[in-house]
Structure 1
Amino acid sequence: MENLFFENPLSPAQLRQRREPRPDEDRDLRGPYFRDTTAVLHSSPFRRMKHKTQVFFAPKNDHICTRIEHVMHVSTIAATICRALNLDSDLAWAIGMGHDLGHTPFGHLGETILAKLRGVEGFRHEMYSLHVVDHLTNHGKGLNLTHAVRDGIVNHCGEKFEQAMEPDFSIKDLNAIVDRSEYPCTWEGTVVRMSDKIAYLGRDLEDALRLGVVDHTQVPASPARVLGSSNSEIIDTLVTDVIHTSNATGKIALSDPVYEAFLEMKEFNYRHIYRSKVLEDLHPGFERVLTTLYEYLSDLFASHGFDSEGYTAEANNLARGFSRYAATMADYYHTEPDPRANVVFDFIAGMSDDYALDSLNEIMVPQSYTVGFSKR
């Protein structure tokens, strides 16, 4: 039987509207939202997420979650909930795949460092993810995603822990959103917002246990009795509870006992994992890495701008890569009031952790010192 709770009052035409019309839309067998998924999947920012921090930086362990795995977890959880609630799982999948494209190297700490370097009060990866899909792909033309997917991306906020949520069902100027106070315009976007939290609660705990950041004796027993003690048990409990509670309340929601356990486990994660000394000890090093790269590229761009030839004298891959980026994106940045304020920031924000570290090593330890010397 169809669930009347979760109808979207906005029309398909409103939700599927793109910034630029696609004449072949009606002939595409994928449908508009699965087409958006493939656009995200084939984009460079998506591929770079496999080397971006989720919580634990560059672990020498293949089983520790990276940013690309996190977005896959969110997408599958959201699609599962949407199937159970008779919602559009293709739309949820597309939002989930694109929701974290704006993450910087070194996770949330990278956001803080880059905001400081840029001289702005805050950096919100949700807003920046929209900027990435709208402008920082396809040589500045963007991915031309549907409104519903773009809306879900910019309003996915995974740092608020609401017990119940519902869409605002409004067509907003998405580029005018500057904080996390807005909610998605669709039920599917709201499901992704809940799924983001579900995806990282148990997985971050599992990774911390695997790496020895915490041990099983520290995990609070009370929420574990409700949610389970493994990532798979926690996900199963939360997803099942969201489905049953949402069907009962008409909102995307958790029941009282599960929500209370959810909050208690979340507080444990924040106290013992995200704010742990293990992670905090890495902060000064990350700041030195990003500050050095930012200052180096800012000086180069001040000297050479979009002139590719000016970068060749640096004789390193970072300068060459930045030069190519600036050249391919020149048409877009020339429409910006102050290209200098954006081009370096955007280039570094898009880096993977590995590329940032390799670039630092390259400019701090010139190649002539590492190769070319014969043995005695």
Structure 2
Amino acid sequence: MVAALGFGTEPRAPWAVDPATTRGRLYPETSSPTRTPYQRDRDRIIHSTAFRRLKHKTQVFVYHEGDHFRTRLTHTIEVAQIARALARALRLDEDLAEALALAHDLGHTPFGHTGEDALDACLDGFGGFDHNAHSLRIVTSLERRYAEFDGLNLAWETLEGLVKHNGPLTDPHGNPVGRYAERGLPHALVTYPEWRGLDLHTFASAEAQAAAIADDIAYDAHDIDDGLRAGLLALEDFEEVPLVGDFLRDIRRRYPGLDRARTIHELTRRLITAMVEDVIATGIAGLETIGARSAADVRAADRAVVVFSPAMAGVDRAIKEVLFPRLYRHPEVMRVRRDAERVVRDLFGHYVAAPDTMPEEWCAGLADCDSWMLARRVGDYIAGMTDRFAIQEHRRRFAHTPELR
């Protein structure tokens, strides 16, 4: 079974991205004698300020709800592990897949998607906010650590995968598609000077697709885990979910009397394994179907190839049909979300009215700027905050700060 799914020590496949043929970096650098371009990118991401901040950014539960619930950082580590496993089985470049997994959530605001929605509303009329595009802005501009350039100066293939891991953003004529069809491409993307060179009309590499599906797998498994342990979900909620219900019944049959904590872990462990093996088998078949002989063939395909099978996609939908109303829309979670939205809105209004209360490096040059530049600068500042720092700043600026618990 393992050999059939592609595990082993085979060399990188022809459809994998080859670091020896990288399109390079915006600012040329001397090659490393000990690391490939994607190993260097992975290392730069891990050592970035934005990566460290993920430790105190929300996944579903705010940071002080409990030390054992996921944060953006622990989620990112789980995604990287799954992405690397997929890349190894599909004989892709593991370092590129890992780098993309590690970078995929760098652009998230405090308070998870709640913070993103609130900041997007605050920036309505000023280009809005999109966390995927903001990840690009972080690695190309906002990280300021190197003497010779702003950003991390990542390789083209890493930037491409970061922007397009969820699929093409435009059609071949440059018209935005999918979620961007109505609003247009995100402001943070089109302000990157080389954005047109990222081939937004094609799919990304198989490595980027592996990172994207790894994100879905990790989300499903750890949100079930966290929701059950928080008491917002019950094991019985999943009895009718395809595959998950089967796992649950088999666990109860094989281990009668097993305590709830171990039952939860056994359930999520089996789910991750099943999803990973499904993607590997489906990916191998998809690569064969498109006749992939190069990474260019993967990008030129008319669909993503590192995906769930139709049956597993149905399981994924069924899981989300439980998670959305019972976890993400749980009354307690919604109450905290409303309070978190208020924190972001209040901070945005305050800094727009008093930009000099931001740190010097953030308010520099704003004295005579227009409203657009001011709003975007404030948005960048708030997006970089951790949950904890945002709450602390709110307490400094306002008489009452909601208790996000």
Q: How far off its partner does 1:257 sit?
A: 2.8
Letter in structure 2 aligned against 1:144: N
Q: In the superposition, relative to structure 1, how do residues 111 and 72 fare at CA in structure 2: closer, same or farther (>3 Å)?
A: same
- Within the candidate set 262, 269, 294, 1:232 is matched to 269
Q: TM-score, normalised by structure 1?
A: 0.78
Q: TM-score, normalised by structure 2?
A: 0.73
Corresponding residue of 1:197? 216
Q: In the alignment, does 2:230 pair up with 1:211?
A: yes
Corresponding residue of 1:143? 152
Which residues of structure 1 form unaligned runs of 5+? 159-171, 305-318, 367-376
Q: How far off its partner does 1:147 sit?
A: 1.0
Q: In the alignment, does 2:15 pair up with 1:7?
A: yes
Corresponding residue of 2:174? none
Q: In the superposition, relative to structure 1, how do residues 38 and 187 fare at CA in structure 2: closer, same or farther (>3 Å)?
A: same
Q: How far off its partner does 1:234 sit?
A: 1.2
Q: In the alignment, does 2:389 pair up with 1:355?
A: yes
Native 8 Å contact 1:213 1:273 kept in 2: yes
Q: In the superposition, relative to structure 1, how do residues 93 and 336 fare at CA in structure 2: closer, same or farther (>3 Å)?
A: farther
Q: How far off its partner does 1:70 sit?
A: 0.9
Q: In the superposition, relative to structure 1, how do residues 60 and 298 fare at CA in structure 2: closer, same or farther (>3 Å)?
A: same
Q: Distance in 2 between matches of 1:273 and 1:193?
A: 22
Q: Which has the higher contact order (CA 8 A, sep 6+)?
A: 2
Native 8 Å contact 1:5 1:247 kept in 2: no
- Within the candidate set 100, 103, 115, 2:105 is matched to 100
Partner SS state of residue 190, structure 1: helix
Q: In the alignment, does 2:330 pair up with 1:276?
A: yes
Which residues of structure 2 form unaligned runs of 5+? 1-8, 168-191, 249-263, 288-304, 401-405
Q: How far off its partner does 1:231 sit?
A: 2.1
Corresponding residue of 1:242? 279
Q: What are the within-5 Å matches in structure 2 for residues 323-338 of structure 1? A: 323-327=360-364, 338=372
Q: In the alignment, does 2:96 pair up with 1:91?
A: yes
Letter in structure 2 aligned against 1:322: P
Q: Distance in 1 between matches of 2:12 and 2:240?
A: 38
Corresponding residue of 2:189? none
Q: In the superposition, relative to structure 1, how do residues 137 and 227 fare at CA in structure 2: closer, same or farther (>3 Å)?
A: farther
- Within the candidate set 37, 42, 47, 1:42 is matched to 47
Q: In the superposition, relative to structure 1, how do residues 177 and 347 fare at CA in structure 2: closer, same or farther (>3 Å)?
A: farther
Q: Distance in 2 between matches of 1:2 and 1:269?
A: 38
Partner SS state of residue 94, structure 1: helix
Q: In the alignment, does 2:163 pair up with 1:154?
A: yes
Corresponding residue of 1:19? 26
Q: In the alignment, does 2:195 pair up with 1:175?
A: yes
Corresponding residue of 1:266? 320
Partner SS state of residue 252, structure 1: coil
Corresponding residue of 1:72? 77
Q: How far off its partner does 1:293 sit?
A: 1.1
Q: How far off its partner does 1:2 sit?
A: 5.8
String of CA shifts for 1:118-158, please: whole Å, max 9, x gaps. 12475321111111111111168111001111111112349
String of CA shifts for 1:30-61, please: whole Å, max 9, x gaps. 21111111111111111111100111122431
Q: Distance in 1 between matches of 2:206 and 2:247?
A: 25
Q: What are the within-5 Å matches in structure 2 for residues 302-317 of structure 1? A: 304=356
- Within the candidate set 366, 377, 381, 1:343 is matched to 377
Letter in structure 1 aligned against 2:232: V
Native 8 Å contact 2:12 2:92 kept in 1: no
Q: Distance in 1 between matches of 2:359 and 2:67?
A: 30
Letter in structure 2 aligned against 1:233: R
Q: How far off its partner does 1:355 sit?
A: 0.3
Native 8 Å contact 1:183 1:190 kept in 2: no
Native 8 Å contact 1:75 1:192 kept in 2: yes
Letter in structure 1 aligned against 2:210: V
Letter in structure 2 aligned against 1:7: W
Partner SS state of residue 135, structure 1: helix
Q: How far off its partner does 1:335 sit?
A: 11
Q: CA RMSD in A?
A: 3.2
Q: In the superposition, relative to structure 1, how do residues 173 and 76 fare at CA in structure 2: closer, same or farther (>3 Å)?
A: farther
Corresponding residue of 1:252? 306
Which segment is superposed worse, 231-240 or 221-230? 221-230
Partner SS state of residue 354, structure 2: helix
Which segment is superposed worse, 147-156 or 119-128? 119-128
Q: In the alignment, does 2:122 pair up with 1:117?
A: yes
Q: Distance in 1 between matches of 2:376 and 2:285?
A: 47
Q: How far off its partner does 1:287 sit?
A: 2.2
Letter in structure 1 aligned against 2:61: F
Q: In the superposition, relative to structure 1, how do residues 324 and 122 fare at CA in structure 2: closer, same or farther (>3 Å)?
A: closer
Q: Distance in 1 between matches of 2:286 and 2:351?
A: 53
Q: In the superposition, relative to structure 1, how do residues 183 and 3 fare at CA in structure 2: closer, same or farther (>3 Å)?
A: farther
Partner SS state of residue 395, structure 2: helix
Native 8 Å contact 2:164 2:203 kept in 1: yes
**Between the two proteins, what is the percent identity of the paired residues?**
32
Native 8 Å contact 1:54 1:67 kept in 2: yes
Q: In the superposition, relative to structure 1, how do residues 148 and 4 fare at CA in structure 2: closer, same or farther (>3 Å)?
A: closer
Letter in structure 1 aligned against 2:87: C
Native 8 Å contact 2:19 2:36 kept in 1: no
Native 8 Å contact 1:220 1:268 kept in 2: no
Corresponding residue of 2:133? 127
